[in-house]
Amino acid sequence: MVRKNRTEVKKDIGAVGRTEGLDKYKEWVNWSEIGIINLIVYSDGSMDEGGNAGAEYCIYRGPNTEIACGKISLGRIVEIYDVKLIGATEGLKSATNYIMAEFATNVAVCPDNEEAIIRLHTDNLTPTSCKFIASFQELRDIWHNILLIPVASPRKMPEELCFLTRINLGLLLSARSANGDYTAYHQRFKHDDDTLFCECGEVNTPENLFTCRRLVDLRKPHPRLSRGPEDDIKWVYGTIAGARTFGSWCKRA
């Protein structure tokens, strides 16, 4: 393997430094190809005056929709540099486990430390950071493999085509991809004449179908015991049986 120098690595990861960083970031985050279904992980780490360290991360779907945040208390046993690596790693782990992650085509991780980014991108390990960097790279490789599997595998005609009408199939695909009558979609393309909020007051998202108070009757009867909105979302949007239920809900809407 050819080891790249620091300048080449910085170019690969898009590191531009603090002077130009803000403008470059604004240009990047508003770039349409980020996509409203793709995920961005922002992470950081710090240490207080007493030597207690902690990391945190925040995950966005598309440039504007916050979907999850997490904090990790690390006490006094971790170096401040490693704290930032842990924040990025835990953020990526949470993003790949997110209920709509399977419909995303990319996850961008944005730690608030250029040196941490370089370390995560290379095999230049230190004794204390090696396990965190290895964990990050393993998660990254798993994500890449998951994305490649559908491309390399033979595909049968989706079963959903056999029992969903064209309109309801379109609604299901719209929910799975978040491309449709949703707040993030309209904001991305600056649709000023569209409604951004559901009548219940929440923003329009694919998940709103499972949390909106106005749609309680629509979601009945439920073909299986509900295990909470998160599990229901995975089941309805991610399984054949769930797609059948989605179709029956659409007929009653």
The segment with the largest mean pLDDT, out of 81-85, 117-121, 145-149, is 81-85
Q: Is 153 helix (H, G, I), strand (E, B) or coil?
A: coil
Q: How would you classify the pairing of strands 107-111 and 39-47?
A: parallel
Domain ranges in the chain?
Answer: 6-151, 160-252
- How far apart CA 208 and CA 4 sit, in angstroms, is 46
Give Cα 47 to chain centroid, integer Å: 27
Q: What would the pLDDT profile of 182-215 be if each residue is shown by its tens digit?
A: 887 777 777 776 677 888 888 888 888 888 888 7
**Structure pTM?**
0.60
Instruction: With both helix axes pointing from N to C terminus, report the angle between 6-13 and 114-121 in degrees, rounded to the nearest 10.
Output: 100
According to DSSP, the residues that pair with 75 across neighbouring strands are 53
Tell me which architecture the domain covering 6-151 has in CATH: 2-Layer Sandwich (3.30)
Total length of the chain? 253
The DSSP-derived string for 9-74 is HHHHHT--HHHHHHHHHHHHHT-GGG-TTSEEEEEEEEE-TTS-EEEEEEEEETTTEEEEEEEEEE
243: exposed, middle or buried (Cβ count in 10 Å: 0-12, 13-18, 19+): buried
Q: Given this model, what pLDDT does residue 150 score?
A: 47
H helices of the chain, in order, are 6-13, 17-29, 80-96, 114-121, 130-152, 160-163, 166-177, 183-188, 208-211, 229-238, 240-252
Q: How confident is the model at residue 57 (pLDDT cuts 50, 70, 90)?
A: very high
> What amino acid is encoded at 162 in this protein?
C
Q: CA separation (Å) from 51 to 46, 77, 79, 132, 245? A: 10, 9, 9, 20, 53
- How far apart CA 239 and CA 176 sit, in angstroms, is 11
**pLDDT, greater one: 238 or 151:** 238
What are the strands of the beta sheet with 65-75, ordered from one edge? 65-75, 53-61, 39-47, 107-111
Q: Is 167 helix (H, G, I), strand (E, B) or coil?
A: helix
Q: Given this model, what pLDDT does residue 43 score?
A: 93
